[in-house]
């Protein structure tokens, strides 16, 4: 469209999403084919917002100053470079099924 806005050619399943984006909302092009994420299985809500889902709790640490337990979360449809540290109590509250089979209360 111009220097600061682009029209994207979206797939049929994303046809309800507005296809014009400001350049600040577009990430740098990924040239690594292995890093491309498939749109299969991606869920959107009524407002067409992407619904994020965690896959696994990868690591844990304690913020000593605030005594906050953190867990490094692997998220569905995100690359490893985008996995991030989250407060453990919030993850247990929102995603109890991830912690149903294992209890890490004694660790760290």
Shared domain check, 25 and 12? yes
Same domain, 43 and 3: yes
User: Is 106 inside a domain boundary?
Assistant: no
Alpha-carbon distance of 89 to 94, in angstroms, equals: 9
pLDDT at 104: 55
Report pLDDT for 103. Answer: 56
Q: Is residue 60 part of a domain?
A: yes
How far is the C-alpha of 96 from the C-alpha of 108, rounded, in Å?
20
pLDDT of residue 108: 45
pLDDT at position 69: 85
Q: Does residue 36 fall inside a structural domain?
A: yes
What is the distance between the alpha carbons of residues 89 and 56, in angstroms, rounded to a whole number?
Answer: 15
Helices marked H in the chain:
88-94
Token representation of residue 17:
């999403």
- Total structural domains within the chain: 2
Q: How many CB atoms lie within 10 A of CB 88?
A: 21
Q: Which two tokens mark 85?
A: 């540290």
Q: How far apart are the first and last CA of the chain?
A: 52
64/80 same-domain check: yes
Residues 4 and 46 in one domain: yes
Range of the domain at 34: 1-51
Tell me which residues of the chain have a pLDDT lower than 50: 106, 108
Query: Are 47 and 63 found together in one domain?
Result: no
Render pLDDT for 25-43 as a digit per residue (tens, 0 to 9): 777 766 776 666 677 777 7
Q: What is the DSSP letter of 36?
A: P
């Amino acid at each position: 469209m111009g220097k600061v806005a682009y029209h994207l050619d979206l797939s049929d399943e994303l046809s309800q999403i507005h296809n014009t984006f400001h350049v600040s909302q577009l990430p740098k092009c990924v040239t690594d084919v292995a890093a491309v994420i498939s749109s299969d299985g991606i869920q959107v809500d009524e407002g067409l917002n992407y619904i994020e889902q965690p896959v696994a709790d990868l690591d844990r640490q304690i913020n000593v100053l605030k005594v906050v337990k953190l867990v490094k979360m692997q998220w569905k449809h995100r690359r490893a470079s985008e996995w991030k540290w989250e407060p453990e109590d919030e993850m247990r509250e929102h995603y109890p099924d991830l912690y149903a089979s294992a209890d890490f209360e004694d660790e760290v």
